[in-house]
Chains A and B, each alone.
Chain A
Amino acid sequence: MADDMARRPLRSRLPGHGRPAAPAAGSWPGGEFSGDEPPGDWAPARPGAARPGGSRPPRRASTWAAAALAAGTAAAAGYLAYALAAPPPGTGQAGPSARSAGQPAVTPSPAAPSPVVTSGGSGAGGGERGDD
Protein backbone atom coordinates (compact mmCIF):
# COMPACT_ATOMS: atom_id res chain seq x y z
CA MET A 1 0.00 0.00 0.00
CA ALA A 2 2.71 2.44 0.93
CA ASP A 3 4.48 1.65 -2.31
CA ASP A 4 1.33 2.30 -4.24
CA MET A 5 0.91 5.66 -2.69
CA ALA A 6 4.52 6.42 -3.40
CA ARG A 7 4.10 5.63 -7.10
CA ARG A 8 1.13 7.98 -7.59
CA PRO A 9 1.93 11.08 -9.60
CA LEU A 10 2.24 14.28 -7.75
CA ARG A 11 -0.94 16.16 -7.45
CA SER A 12 -1.16 19.80 -8.38
CA ARG A 13 -3.80 22.24 -7.34
CA LEU A 14 -6.24 23.43 -9.91
CA PRO A 15 -6.81 27.12 -10.50
CA GLY A 16 -9.19 28.54 -7.90
CA HIS A 17 -8.40 25.97 -5.33
CA GLY A 18 -8.99 27.34 -1.90
CA ARG A 19 -11.83 29.65 -2.90
CA PRO A 20 -15.27 29.21 -1.37
CA ALA A 21 -17.36 26.33 -2.70
CA ALA A 22 -19.92 27.01 -5.35
CA PRO A 23 -23.25 28.11 -3.91
CA ALA A 24 -26.16 25.76 -3.65
CA ALA A 25 -28.96 26.33 -6.06
CA GLY A 26 -31.18 29.17 -5.01
CA SER A 27 -28.80 30.68 -2.57
CA TRP A 28 -26.20 33.26 -2.86
CA PRO A 29 -22.79 32.55 -1.34
CA GLY A 30 -21.91 34.43 1.79
CA GLY A 31 -25.47 34.88 2.81
CA GLU A 32 -24.93 38.49 3.64
CA PHE A 33 -24.71 40.01 0.17
CA SER A 34 -26.63 43.21 -0.11
CA GLY A 35 -24.93 45.16 -2.88
CA ASP A 36 -25.39 45.32 -6.64
CA GLU A 37 -22.49 42.98 -7.37
CA PRO A 38 -22.37 39.45 -6.06
CA PRO A 39 -19.19 38.49 -4.34
CA GLY A 40 -16.56 36.73 -6.42
CA ASP A 41 -16.22 36.22 -10.24
CA TRP A 42 -18.49 33.13 -10.38
CA ALA A 43 -21.64 35.05 -9.66
CA PRO A 44 -24.28 34.93 -12.49
CA ALA A 45 -24.16 37.86 -14.84
CA ARG A 46 -26.99 40.25 -15.06
CA PRO A 47 -28.83 40.47 -18.36
CA GLY A 48 -26.89 42.64 -20.72
CA ALA A 49 -23.81 42.67 -18.60
CA ALA A 50 -20.59 41.77 -20.37
CA ARG A 51 -18.56 38.90 -19.13
CA PRO A 52 -14.87 39.24 -18.91
CA GLY A 53 -14.33 35.98 -20.80
CA GLY A 54 -17.01 36.52 -23.46
CA SER A 55 -19.74 33.95 -24.23
CA ARG A 56 -19.68 30.84 -22.20
CA PRO A 57 -18.85 27.61 -23.99
CA PRO A 58 -22.15 25.92 -22.93
CA ARG A 59 -24.08 28.63 -24.75
CA ARG A 60 -22.18 27.92 -27.96
CA ALA A 61 -22.83 24.20 -27.53
CA SER A 62 -26.59 24.83 -27.24
CA THR A 63 -26.56 26.72 -30.50
CA TRP A 64 -24.98 23.81 -32.29
CA ALA A 65 -27.39 21.36 -30.66
CA ALA A 66 -30.36 23.46 -31.74
CA ALA A 67 -29.05 23.60 -35.28
CA ALA A 68 -28.55 19.85 -35.35
CA LEU A 69 -32.03 19.28 -33.92
CA ALA A 70 -33.59 21.53 -36.54
CA ALA A 71 -31.73 19.78 -39.33
CA GLY A 72 -32.77 16.35 -38.04
CA THR A 73 -36.40 17.34 -37.74
CA ALA A 74 -36.42 18.68 -41.27
CA ALA A 75 -34.84 15.50 -42.59
CA ALA A 76 -37.35 13.29 -40.77
CA ALA A 77 -40.29 15.33 -42.05
CA GLY A 78 -38.96 15.11 -45.57
CA TYR A 79 -38.56 11.36 -45.36
CA LEU A 80 -42.04 10.83 -43.99
CA ALA A 81 -43.55 12.94 -46.74
CA TYR A 82 -41.68 10.91 -49.35
CA ALA A 83 -42.56 7.58 -47.79
CA LEU A 84 -46.28 8.30 -47.62
CA ALA A 85 -46.49 9.61 -51.16
CA ALA A 86 -44.47 6.88 -52.81
CA PRO A 87 -46.34 3.85 -54.23
CA PRO A 88 -45.97 0.57 -52.41
CA PRO A 89 -43.17 -1.47 -53.91
CA GLY A 90 -44.14 -3.43 -56.97
CA THR A 91 -47.71 -2.25 -57.28
CA GLY A 92 -47.80 0.87 -59.31
CA GLN A 93 -50.59 2.00 -57.03
CA ALA A 94 -50.67 5.26 -55.19
CA GLY A 95 -49.95 5.14 -51.51
CA PRO A 96 -52.45 5.90 -48.77
CA SER A 97 -51.82 9.62 -48.91
CA ALA A 98 -52.71 9.68 -52.61
CA ARG A 99 -56.26 8.43 -52.19
CA SER A 100 -59.20 10.66 -51.66
CA ALA A 101 -61.03 10.83 -48.40
CA GLY A 102 -63.77 8.23 -48.18
CA GLN A 103 -62.14 5.76 -50.53
CA PRO A 104 -61.19 2.36 -49.19
CA ALA A 105 -57.56 1.76 -48.40
CA VAL A 106 -55.54 0.56 -51.37
CA THR A 107 -53.50 -2.49 -50.55
CA PRO A 108 -50.88 -4.05 -52.76
CA SER A 109 -52.30 -6.52 -55.26
CA PRO A 110 -51.31 -10.14 -54.83
CA ALA A 111 -49.76 -12.18 -57.59
CA ALA A 112 -51.93 -14.65 -59.47
CA PRO A 113 -49.48 -17.05 -61.08
CA SER A 114 -51.86 -19.55 -62.66
CA PRO A 115 -55.10 -19.16 -64.63
CA VAL A 116 -58.10 -18.53 -62.43
CA VAL A 117 -60.75 -19.21 -65.06
CA THR A 118 -61.15 -20.53 -68.58
CA SER A 119 -63.08 -18.75 -71.29
CA GLY A 120 -64.05 -21.03 -74.11
CA GLY A 121 -67.75 -20.89 -74.78
CA SER A 122 -70.28 -22.16 -72.31
CA GLY A 123 -70.86 -25.86 -72.28
CA ALA A 124 -74.05 -27.42 -71.06
CA GLY A 125 -74.05 -28.10 -67.39
CA GLY A 126 -70.73 -26.53 -66.72
CA GLY A 127 -68.49 -24.20 -68.62
CA GLU A 128 -65.78 -24.89 -66.10
CA ARG A 129 -66.65 -28.42 -65.21
CA GLY A 130 -66.63 -29.28 -68.84
CA ASP A 131 -69.55 -31.60 -69.34
CA ASP A 132 -69.51 -32.01 -73.04
Chain B
Amino acid sequence: MSAANVTVRPRARDWSRVAVGSPDLAAADRDALGTTARIVTWPAENLPGMLAAVDAELALLDSQASRFREDSELSALHAAGGGTHRISDGLAEAVGIALAAAAWTGGLADPTVGGALIALGYDRDFALIGGAMRDGQALARAGLGGAPHGGGAPHDGGPPGGGACPAVAVPGWRSVRLAGNLLTLPPGVRLDLGATAKGLGADRCARAAHRAARHRGGVLVSLGGDLAVAGQPPAGGWPVLVADEHRQVRAARNLAARMAAGAPDRRAPGSDGRAAGPAATQLVRLARGALATSSVTCRRWERHGRQMHHLIDPRTGWPAAGPWRTVSVAAATCAQANAASTAAIIAGEDAVPWLAARGLPARLVGHDGTVALTPGWPSDEGGPVAIPAGDGPAGILLGVPGGEAGERA
Protein backbone atom coordinates (compact mmCIF):
# COMPACT_ATOMS: atom_id res chain seq x y z
CA MET B 1 0.00 0.00 0.00
CA SER B 2 1.28 3.41 -0.83
CA ALA B 3 0.70 6.64 0.97
CA ALA B 4 0.30 8.27 -2.42
CA ASN B 5 -2.95 6.37 -2.87
CA VAL B 6 -4.64 8.26 -0.07
CA THR B 7 -7.07 10.85 -1.29
CA VAL B 8 -9.09 13.29 0.73
CA ARG B 9 -12.70 13.25 -0.33
CA PRO B 10 -14.63 16.43 0.08
CA ARG B 11 -17.11 16.08 2.89
CA ALA B 12 -20.37 17.75 3.58
CA ARG B 13 -19.48 21.10 5.06
CA ASP B 14 -22.71 22.02 6.68
CA TRP B 15 -21.54 24.21 9.49
CA SER B 16 -24.31 25.74 11.56
CA ARG B 17 -23.76 28.92 13.49
CA VAL B 18 -24.55 28.63 17.18
CA ALA B 19 -24.97 31.32 19.81
CA VAL B 20 -22.54 31.26 22.70
CA GLY B 21 -23.74 34.25 24.68
CA SER B 22 -21.33 36.95 23.59
CA PRO B 23 -21.25 39.14 20.49
CA ASP B 24 -17.47 39.07 20.65
CA LEU B 25 -17.41 35.31 20.09
CA ALA B 26 -18.57 33.24 17.14
CA ALA B 27 -19.22 29.51 17.02
CA ALA B 28 -20.28 26.86 14.55
CA ASP B 29 -21.12 23.15 14.63
CA ARG B 30 -21.05 20.34 12.12
CA ASP B 31 -21.18 16.56 12.18
CA ALA B 32 -17.74 14.99 11.86
CA LEU B 33 -15.96 11.78 12.79
CA GLY B 34 -19.18 10.23 14.06
CA THR B 35 -19.77 13.06 16.49
CA THR B 36 -20.10 16.83 16.51
CA ALA B 37 -17.28 19.26 15.81
CA ARG B 38 -17.53 22.74 17.24
CA ILE B 39 -15.38 25.81 16.69
CA VAL B 40 -15.58 28.80 19.01
CA THR B 41 -13.42 31.82 18.32
CA TRP B 42 -12.84 35.48 18.98
CA PRO B 43 -12.82 37.93 17.39
CA ALA B 44 -15.93 36.79 15.62
CA GLU B 45 -14.63 37.68 12.19
CA ASN B 46 -12.06 34.89 12.52
CA LEU B 47 -14.69 32.21 12.08
CA PRO B 48 -15.24 32.04 8.29
CA GLY B 49 -11.55 31.57 7.56
CA MET B 50 -11.24 28.90 10.23
CA LEU B 51 -14.02 26.68 8.91
CA ALA B 52 -12.15 25.72 5.78
CA ALA B 53 -8.97 25.00 7.71
CA VAL B 54 -10.81 22.75 10.14
CA ASP B 55 -12.69 21.07 7.31
CA ALA B 56 -9.40 20.15 5.71
CA GLU B 57 -7.98 18.71 8.93
CA LEU B 58 -11.10 16.69 9.66
CA ALA B 59 -11.26 15.30 6.14
CA LEU B 60 -7.60 14.35 6.27
CA LEU B 61 -7.88 12.61 9.63
CA ASP B 62 -11.02 10.76 8.56
CA SER B 63 -9.42 9.59 5.34
CA GLN B 64 -6.38 8.36 7.20
CA ALA B 65 -7.45 6.94 10.54
CA SER B 66 -11.12 5.93 10.33
CA ARG B 67 -11.76 2.23 10.72
CA PHE B 68 -15.36 2.72 9.58
CA ARG B 69 -14.63 4.07 6.12
CA GLU B 70 -13.78 1.38 3.62
CA ASP B 71 -11.69 3.79 1.61
CA SER B 72 -9.60 5.04 4.51
CA GLU B 73 -5.91 4.38 4.68
CA LEU B 74 -6.35 2.39 7.88
CA SER B 75 -9.05 0.19 6.32
CA ALA B 76 -6.80 -0.47 3.35
CA LEU B 77 -4.07 -1.42 5.77
CA HIS B 78 -6.36 -3.89 7.52
CA ALA B 79 -7.55 -5.31 4.22
CA ALA B 80 -3.97 -5.88 3.15
CA GLY B 81 -3.41 -8.15 6.15
CA GLY B 82 -0.25 -8.43 8.17
CA GLY B 83 3.11 -7.27 7.03
CA THR B 84 5.02 -4.08 6.62
CA HIS B 85 3.40 -1.17 4.84
CA ARG B 86 4.47 2.33 4.01
CA ILE B 87 1.91 4.76 5.36
CA SER B 88 1.29 8.48 5.03
CA ASP B 89 2.86 11.02 7.33
CA GLY B 90 -0.52 11.77 8.88
CA LEU B 91 -1.33 8.17 9.70
CA ALA B 92 2.21 7.64 10.93
CA GLU B 93 1.69 10.50 13.33
CA ALA B 94 -1.65 9.09 14.50
CA VAL B 95 -0.28 5.58 15.00
CA GLY B 96 2.86 6.92 16.62
CA ILE B 97 0.85 8.91 19.13
CA ALA B 98 -1.36 5.90 19.83
CA LEU B 99 1.71 3.78 20.54
CA ALA B 100 3.21 6.54 22.67
CA ALA B 101 -0.03 6.72 24.65
CA ALA B 102 0.01 2.97 25.12
CA ALA B 103 3.52 3.10 26.48
CA TRP B 104 2.70 6.06 28.72
CA THR B 105 -0.43 4.41 30.16
CA GLY B 106 1.24 1.07 30.77
CA GLY B 107 -0.78 -0.48 27.96
CA LEU B 108 -4.21 0.60 29.22
CA ALA B 109 -4.90 2.81 26.20
CA ASP B 110 -4.03 0.18 23.61
CA PRO B 111 -4.64 0.74 19.88
CA THR B 112 -4.82 -2.99 19.15
CA VAL B 113 -8.29 -3.35 20.68
CA GLY B 114 -9.89 -3.00 17.24
CA GLY B 115 -10.48 -6.75 16.89
CA ALA B 116 -12.08 -6.96 20.32
CA LEU B 117 -14.39 -4.04 19.55
CA ILE B 118 -15.46 -5.67 16.30
CA ALA B 119 -16.04 -8.95 18.05
CA LEU B 120 -18.25 -7.20 20.57
CA GLY B 121 -20.28 -5.55 17.83
CA TYR B 122 -18.72 -2.13 17.40
CA ASP B 123 -17.86 -2.75 13.78
CA ARG B 124 -19.24 0.31 12.03
CA ASP B 125 -19.98 3.94 12.63
CA PHE B 126 -21.85 3.95 15.90
CA ALA B 127 -24.86 5.71 14.43
CA LEU B 128 -25.43 2.64 12.26
CA ILE B 129 -25.29 0.10 15.06
CA GLY B 130 -28.65 -1.37 15.97
CA GLY B 131 -29.85 -1.79 19.49
CA ALA B 132 -29.05 -5.48 19.63
CA MET B 133 -26.53 -7.72 17.93
CA ARG B 134 -27.31 -11.34 17.29
CA ASP B 135 -24.90 -13.88 18.69
CA GLY B 136 -22.00 -14.51 16.39
CA GLN B 137 -22.97 -11.79 13.99
CA ALA B 138 -20.22 -9.46 15.06
CA LEU B 139 -17.53 -12.11 14.95
CA ALA B 140 -18.61 -13.13 11.48
CA ARG B 141 -18.41 -9.52 10.37
CA ALA B 142 -14.95 -9.32 11.79
CA GLY B 143 -13.98 -12.39 9.77
CA LEU B 144 -12.83 -14.04 12.93
CA GLY B 145 -15.38 -16.79 13.31
CA GLY B 146 -15.11 -16.58 17.04
CA ALA B 147 -11.50 -17.67 16.98
CA PRO B 148 -8.77 -15.77 18.70
CA HIS B 149 -6.62 -13.57 16.53
CA GLY B 150 -3.20 -12.14 16.68
CA GLY B 151 -1.87 -15.22 18.39
CA GLY B 152 -3.75 -14.48 21.58
CA ALA B 153 -5.97 -16.75 23.56
CA PRO B 154 -9.71 -16.34 23.88
CA HIS B 155 -10.82 -14.68 27.03
CA ASP B 156 -13.22 -17.13 28.60
CA GLY B 157 -13.93 -15.33 31.79
CA GLY B 158 -16.80 -13.49 30.21
CA PRO B 159 -17.87 -10.02 31.00
CA PRO B 160 -17.97 -8.90 34.58
CA GLY B 161 -20.78 -10.68 36.27
CA GLY B 162 -20.54 -13.73 34.06
CA GLY B 163 -21.42 -14.42 30.46
CA ALA B 164 -21.30 -17.06 27.82
CA CYS B 165 -19.89 -15.31 24.78
CA PRO B 166 -16.19 -15.47 24.12
CA ALA B 167 -14.09 -12.36 23.97
CA VAL B 168 -11.15 -11.84 21.69
CA ALA B 169 -7.78 -11.39 23.26
CA VAL B 170 -6.05 -8.12 22.56
CA PRO B 171 -2.68 -8.72 20.88
CA GLY B 172 -1.12 -5.74 22.58
CA TRP B 173 0.58 -2.60 21.33
CA ARG B 174 4.02 -4.17 21.57
CA SER B 175 3.12 -6.38 18.62
CA VAL B 176 3.02 -3.31 16.38
CA ARG B 177 6.13 -1.67 15.05
CA LEU B 178 6.46 1.73 13.49
CA ALA B 179 9.73 2.89 11.99
CA GLY B 180 9.36 6.20 10.28
CA ASN B 181 6.56 5.62 7.79
CA LEU B 182 6.92 1.83 7.81
CA LEU B 183 4.21 0.16 9.87
CA THR B 184 4.39 -3.54 10.65
CA LEU B 185 1.23 -5.29 11.79
CA PRO B 186 0.87 -8.95 12.74
CA PRO B 187 -1.76 -10.81 10.70
CA GLY B 188 -5.30 -10.11 11.85
CA VAL B 189 -4.46 -7.18 14.10
CA ARG B 190 -7.00 -4.39 13.79
CA LEU B 191 -6.06 -0.96 15.04
CA ASP B 192 -8.56 1.29 16.75
CA LEU B 193 -7.16 4.75 17.34
CA GLY B 194 -10.19 5.94 19.28
CA ALA B 195 -8.25 6.62 22.47
CA THR B 196 -6.11 9.28 20.85
CA ALA B 197 -7.23 10.09 17.31
CA LYS B 198 -10.09 12.37 18.25
CA GLY B 199 -7.81 14.24 20.63
CA LEU B 200 -5.16 14.45 17.96
CA GLY B 201 -7.80 15.80 15.61
CA ALA B 202 -8.77 18.51 18.09
CA ASP B 203 -5.11 19.46 18.49
CA ARG B 204 -4.59 19.61 14.74
CA CYS B 205 -7.78 21.58 14.16
CA ALA B 206 -7.04 24.13 16.89
CA ARG B 207 -3.58 24.74 15.50
CA ALA B 208 -4.84 24.98 11.93
CA ALA B 209 -7.66 27.33 12.88
CA HIS B 210 -5.34 29.61 14.83
CA ARG B 211 -2.93 29.61 11.91
CA ALA B 212 -5.77 30.48 9.54
CA ALA B 213 -6.56 33.50 11.72
CA ARG B 214 -2.89 34.52 11.55
CA HIS B 215 -2.58 33.87 15.27
CA ARG B 216 -5.03 36.62 16.09
CA GLY B 217 -7.38 36.14 19.03
CA GLY B 218 -8.16 32.67 20.27
CA VAL B 219 -9.96 29.49 19.26
CA LEU B 220 -11.43 26.40 20.87
CA VAL B 221 -12.09 23.27 18.84
CA SER B 222 -14.20 20.46 20.26
CA LEU B 223 -14.66 17.04 18.71
CA GLY B 224 -17.45 15.42 20.64
CA GLY B 225 -16.42 17.13 23.85
CA ASP B 226 -12.70 16.48 23.49
CA LEU B 227 -11.37 19.97 23.06
CA ALA B 228 -8.18 21.88 22.48
CA VAL B 229 -7.59 25.62 22.61
CA ALA B 230 -5.06 27.84 20.89
CA GLY B 231 -4.16 31.50 21.12
CA GLN B 232 -5.45 33.99 23.64
CA PRO B 233 -8.44 32.79 25.67
CA PRO B 234 -11.37 34.97 26.68
CA ALA B 235 -10.95 36.78 29.97
CA GLY B 236 -10.63 34.15 32.66
CA GLY B 237 -10.43 31.25 30.20
CA TRP B 238 -12.82 29.35 27.95
CA PRO B 239 -15.94 28.38 29.91
CA VAL B 240 -16.54 24.65 29.52
CA LEU B 241 -19.39 22.72 31.04
CA VAL B 242 -18.24 19.30 32.19
CA ALA B 243 -21.03 16.77 32.25
CA ASP B 244 -21.30 13.24 33.50
CA GLU B 245 -23.66 10.95 31.72
CA HIS B 246 -24.85 11.55 28.22
CA ARG B 247 -28.30 12.72 29.21
CA GLN B 248 -26.60 15.49 31.12
CA VAL B 249 -24.67 16.42 28.01
CA ARG B 250 -27.86 16.95 26.12
CA ALA B 251 -29.50 18.83 28.95
CA ALA B 252 -26.35 20.82 29.54
CA ARG B 253 -26.32 21.76 25.88
CA ASN B 254 -29.84 23.07 26.20
CA LEU B 255 -28.90 24.94 29.34
CA ALA B 256 -25.90 26.50 27.62
CA ALA B 257 -28.09 27.57 24.73
CA ARG B 258 -30.55 29.20 27.09
CA MET B 259 -27.76 30.93 28.97
CA ALA B 260 -26.32 32.12 25.66
CA ALA B 261 -29.70 33.62 24.91
CA GLY B 262 -29.52 35.57 28.12
CA ALA B 263 -31.45 33.38 30.51
CA PRO B 264 -30.01 33.11 34.02
CA ASP B 265 -28.36 29.92 35.23
CA ARG B 266 -31.17 28.34 37.15
CA ARG B 267 -29.89 24.85 37.48
CA ALA B 268 -31.63 23.04 40.25
CA PRO B 269 -30.89 19.59 41.61
CA GLY B 270 -32.44 17.01 39.39
CA SER B 271 -33.22 19.34 36.53
CA ASP B 272 -31.50 20.73 33.49
CA GLY B 273 -28.93 18.02 33.49
CA ARG B 274 -27.78 18.76 36.99
CA ALA B 275 -28.40 15.53 38.77
CA ALA B 276 -29.06 15.47 42.43
CA GLY B 277 -25.92 14.78 44.36
CA PRO B 278 -22.31 15.56 43.76
CA ALA B 279 -22.15 14.30 40.16
CA ALA B 280 -23.81 17.44 38.84
CA THR B 281 -22.40 19.26 35.88
CA GLN B 282 -19.59 21.66 36.61
CA LEU B 283 -18.49 24.80 34.86
CA VAL B 284 -14.72 25.14 34.59
CA ARG B 285 -12.48 27.55 32.72
CA LEU B 286 -9.65 26.50 30.48
CA ALA B 287 -7.04 29.07 29.49
CA ARG B 288 -4.75 26.79 27.52
CA GLY B 289 -4.10 23.17 26.73
CA ALA B 290 -6.90 20.70 26.32
CA LEU B 291 -9.62 18.75 28.05
CA ALA B 292 -11.09 15.36 27.23
CA THR B 293 -13.84 13.29 28.75
CA SER B 294 -14.32 9.55 28.47
CA SER B 295 -17.51 7.91 29.61
CA VAL B 296 -19.07 4.48 29.60
CA THR B 297 -22.52 6.08 29.59
CA CYS B 298 -22.35 6.80 25.88
CA ARG B 299 -21.64 4.63 22.84
CA ARG B 300 -23.35 1.67 24.44
CA TRP B 301 -25.00 -1.23 22.69
CA GLU B 302 -26.45 -4.55 23.64
CA ARG B 303 -25.18 -8.00 22.92
CA HIS B 304 -26.20 -11.31 24.52
CA GLY B 305 -28.62 -9.29 26.53
CA ARG B 306 -25.75 -7.34 28.03
CA GLN B 307 -24.85 -3.73 27.78
CA MET B 308 -21.55 -3.11 26.05
CA HIS B 309 -19.53 0.08 25.77
CA HIS B 310 -16.61 1.18 23.69
CA LEU B 311 -13.83 1.39 26.27
CA ILE B 312 -12.13 -1.98 26.11
CA ASP B 313 -9.84 -3.25 28.83
CA PRO B 314 -6.98 -4.76 26.85
CA ARG B 315 -6.24 -7.12 29.74
CA THR B 316 -9.57 -8.87 29.29
CA GLY B 317 -10.92 -7.93 25.87
CA TRP B 318 -14.15 -6.84 27.54
CA PRO B 319 -15.57 -3.41 28.20
CA ALA B 320 -13.90 -1.89 31.24
CA ALA B 321 -15.68 -2.66 34.48
CA GLY B 322 -14.07 -0.22 36.89
CA PRO B 323 -15.75 2.06 39.39
CA TRP B 324 -15.70 5.17 37.19
CA ARG B 325 -18.38 5.94 34.67
CA THR B 326 -17.00 9.29 33.48
CA VAL B 327 -13.51 10.76 33.68
CA SER B 328 -12.53 14.25 32.50
CA VAL B 329 -8.83 15.08 32.24
CA ALA B 330 -6.99 18.30 31.35
CA ALA B 331 -3.55 18.14 29.80
CA ALA B 332 -1.21 20.03 27.55
CA THR B 333 -2.63 18.39 24.44
CA CYS B 334 -5.95 16.78 23.70
CA ALA B 335 -4.30 13.57 22.52
CA GLN B 336 -2.71 13.30 25.95
CA ALA B 337 -5.92 14.19 27.77
CA ASN B 338 -7.85 11.71 25.66
CA ALA B 339 -5.41 8.90 26.37
CA ALA B 340 -5.41 9.70 30.07
CA SER B 341 -9.20 9.80 30.41
CA THR B 342 -9.52 6.48 28.58
CA ALA B 343 -6.79 4.88 30.67
CA ALA B 344 -8.39 6.17 33.87
CA ILE B 345 -11.70 4.47 33.08
CA ILE B 346 -9.84 1.22 32.45
CA ALA B 347 -7.45 1.59 35.39
CA GLY B 348 -10.28 1.49 37.88
CA GLU B 349 -9.28 2.04 41.50
CA ASP B 350 -5.75 3.00 40.48
CA ALA B 351 -6.93 5.90 38.33
CA VAL B 352 -6.78 8.68 40.93
CA PRO B 353 -3.21 8.06 42.09
CA TRP B 354 -2.12 7.42 38.50
CA LEU B 355 -3.49 10.79 37.34
CA ALA B 356 -2.24 12.64 40.41
CA ALA B 357 1.24 11.22 40.03
CA ARG B 358 1.37 12.66 36.51
CA GLY B 359 0.11 16.05 37.61
CA LEU B 360 -3.03 15.80 35.51
CA PRO B 361 -6.10 17.69 36.77
CA ALA B 362 -9.06 15.35 36.55
CA ARG B 363 -12.66 14.88 37.61
CA LEU B 364 -13.84 11.31 38.08
CA VAL B 365 -17.46 10.35 38.54
CA GLY B 366 -18.23 6.95 39.97
CA HIS B 367 -21.13 4.70 39.08
CA ASP B 368 -22.66 5.68 42.41
CA GLY B 369 -22.45 9.37 41.53
CA THR B 370 -19.59 10.26 43.82
CA VAL B 371 -16.99 12.64 42.45
CA ALA B 372 -13.24 12.55 42.95
CA LEU B 373 -10.91 15.39 41.96
CA THR B 374 -7.18 15.36 41.49
CA PRO B 375 -4.96 18.39 42.27
CA GLY B 376 -5.34 21.15 39.71
CA TRP B 377 -9.01 20.54 39.06
CA PRO B 378 -11.13 23.30 40.61
CA SER B 379 -13.51 22.37 43.35
CA ASP B 380 -15.60 25.50 42.88
CA GLU B 381 -18.04 26.29 40.10
CA GLY B 382 -16.39 28.28 37.33
CA GLY B 383 -12.89 27.75 38.66
CA PRO B 384 -9.82 27.61 36.43
CA VAL B 385 -8.25 24.30 35.50
CA ALA B 386 -4.52 24.34 36.24
CA ILE B 387 -2.89 22.77 33.24
CA PRO B 388 0.48 21.30 34.21
CA ALA B 389 3.31 23.46 33.01
CA GLY B 390 5.75 20.65 32.48
CA ASP B 391 5.99 18.70 29.29
CA GLY B 392 4.15 15.43 29.16
CA PRO B 393 5.39 12.43 27.29
CA ALA B 394 7.23 13.88 24.37
CA GLY B 395 5.57 11.74 21.78
CA ILE B 396 2.12 12.89 22.81
CA LEU B 397 2.86 16.45 23.73
CA LEU B 398 4.79 17.23 20.62
CA GLY B 399 2.76 15.12 18.29
CA VAL B 400 5.98 13.62 17.03
CA PRO B 401 5.85 9.89 16.40
CA GLY B 402 8.36 7.99 18.39
CA GLY B 403 8.57 10.23 21.41
CA GLU B 404 8.11 7.46 23.91
CA ALA B 405 6.92 4.63 21.75
CA GLY B 406 9.42 2.01 22.62
CA GLU B 407 8.38 -0.27 19.82
CA ARG B 408 9.30 2.22 17.18
CA ALA B 409 12.72 2.42 15.62
Contact = CB atoms under 8 A, between A and B. Distances in A.
B11 interface: no
A87 B131 CA distance: 57
Shortest 5 CB-CB contacts between residues of A and residues of B? A122-B224, A121-B295, A130-B250, A127-B224, A120-B243
A132 B21 contact: no
Contacts of A129: 29, 36, 253
B25 A112 contact: yes
Determine the main DSSP class of B at the interface with A: mixed
Give the interface centre of A93, A121, A124 by most chain B CB atoms within 10 Å: A121
B218 A109 contact: yes
Q: Give the interface residue-count category, chain B.
A: 35 or more
Contact of A118 (B31, B233, B241): B241
A127 B225 contact: yes
A116 B249 contact: no
Residue in A118, A120, A122, A123 with the greatest tally of chain B CB atoms within 10 Å: A120
Interface of B: 20-22, 24-25, 27, 29, 31, 34-36, 38, 40, 42-43, 125-127, 129, 198, 214-218, 220, 222-227, 232-236, 238-250, 252-253, 255-256, 259-260, 265, 281, 283, 291-295, 297-299, 326, 328
26 contacts: A90-B235, A110-B42, A110-B234, A113-B21, A113-B239, A114-B20, A114-B239, A115-B241, A116-B256, A117-B222, A118-B241, A118-B256, A119-B226, A121-B243, A122-B226, A123-B35, A123-B298, A124-B127, A125-B126, A125-B127, A127-B223, A128-B29, A128-B38, A129-B36, A130-B249, A132-B247
A119 B246 contact: no
Nearest to A91: B235
A116 B29 CA distance: 11
B253 A128 contact: yes
Contacts of B248: 120
Interface of A, helix, strand, loop or mixed by DSSP = loop
Contacts of B127: 124-125, 131
A33 to B, nearest CB: 75
A127 B233 contact: no
A122 B255 CA distance: 18
Contacts of A124: 34-35, 125-127, 129, 298-299
A19 B283 CA distance: 93
A45 interface: no
Given A104-B216, A110-B22, A124-B298, A116 B36 contact: no
B167 to A, nearest CB: 22
A55 B243 CA distance: 85
Contacts of A112: 20-22, 25, 42, 234-236, 238-239
Given A112-B25, A121-B246, A128 B36 contact: yes
A84 B313 CA distance: 57
Given A112-B235, A128-B253, A132-B250, A119 B22 contact: no
Contact of A110 (B24, B129, B292): B24
Contacts of A115: 239-241, 252, 255-256, 259, 283
Interface string A33-58: 00000000000000000000000000
